[in-house]
Chains A and B, each alone.
Chain A
């Protein structure tokens, strides 16, 4: 099991949970697994081509997956996977 650290904007989809334990051999499998548990997360993170959206970074432990093997980056037992979206702050509409 790896731990996925869910950023605040996505916690609406995880029932408020900031950490989700899921099983998967690589980041892609992990995201599929978490989407099975909390439907909708995958489309929040991936674009139509199945790539991580360009305003979102995914880290396995300390490293961003674009510098590793993208969604194929292997995930080991007890790894921490962080999802980090761009945040802008509080502008009123």
Chain B
């Protein structure tokens, strides 16, 4: 085996790889060339600034992680360090893995920066966060960048009840940075069989308050925004537009149609679920948005164009519900919300998950957009929020025109 000193090794490496100047890299990136740019410096260096669109894989992990980002051995990979030395050695190792087109940036990041090129300062997790979210960061599908997405995400929960409890607790624990909670109700002893956000000491308190305390205790990173009001045609658009995703844990048909319509009008994905006795349903309604290349899927009205007449479908208050059931279904909603935030996996858009916990079967059924849907169809007839109590055959609280919170609206409070 030949014995080389550092300069000899570096010369050998440089003879085996291609080098590129900052100027040329910039031109090729601006031309939109399909190449993977990898920052191989240490974390302390990376946080000071990096080349836009570069991925960060510290030198010590490069060979172990490069295939997660680029498997194609023919596509160009540009590696850079601070000055172009470490990257030359790293490039040589990538060649040994079969990457044919590995390029080292001459002068490294310092050369790039000194040439006056743009660079970005990354948002990074602090030391405490890197420990708290370490199990997420280990997942390729999350990683530090994904965790930062979660921290920047805003999710609105309709209801802090059976479904909202596990959903909110897991989203808080996962580090979803902003959680809005709409709930008008106060904690009742009969809630405690399934609504884990609240405890004995909270009976009689507004649910949004006990929920905020519990969520803060789980994760102080999370900002909880309480909306202690019924969601109505007056306030739905105003509340929902501040959030990225809505998670529906409501317990009545008027609210379900209201939240669906508002999410469709605002282009917000709605992670929907409902439960009854031992059975649950969950799906995701993603409004189409051509400008953002989002194909979208069906909405609640595509599945259920009309509500059942009052009394036709029994409620959990009449028929009961197994307390653990919302624990499963609400947790599935939390997973779907996280997948949407991270942009990973296959969401429940266009699929209805049916859960029967007595048989313990999980089935997914295909659901499609209805071209005649009054809200998301080809010729929509409902283009603004309506009076949803009236639509559902209930006594109208004049929801579309009267700003006062009336007694009838109180009955829509979320349990």
Contact = CB atoms under 8 A, between A and B. Distances in A.
A91 B163 CA distance: 13
Contact of B368 (A8, A53, A64, A89): A64
A93 B370 CA distance: 32
Contacts of B252: 88-89, 91
Binding site of A, secondary structure by majority: helix, strand, loop or mixed?
loop
Interface string B335-372: 00000000000000000101010110001111110100
Interface in B271-286: 274-279, 281
Contacts of A82: 354, 363, 365
Number of chain A interface residues as a range? 20 to 34
Given A55-B313, A85-B308, A93-B317, A8 B256 contact: no
Contact of B365 (A7, A53, A64): A64
A15 interface: no
A90 B368 contact: no
Q: Which of A64, A88, A93: most chain B CB closer than 10 A?
A: A88
A89 B364 contact: no
A4 to B, nearest CB: 14
A73 to B, nearest CB: 14
Contact of B415 (A7, A59, A63, A92): A92
A93 B315 contact: yes
Contacts of B356: 8, 18
B308 A90 contact: no
A90 B278 contact: no
B303 interface: yes
A59 B364 CA distance: 11
A54 B161 CA distance: 28
A8 B415 contact: no
A67 B293 CA distance: 25
B412 to A, nearest CB: 8
Given A8-B319, A88-B250, 20 more contacts: A8-B276, A8-B279, A8-B356, A9-B319, A18-B358, A54-B306, A55-B306, A62-B365, A84-B281, A84-B352, A84-B365, A86-B307, A86-B308, A87-B275, A87-B279, A89-B161, A89-B249, A89-B252, A89-B315, A93-B318
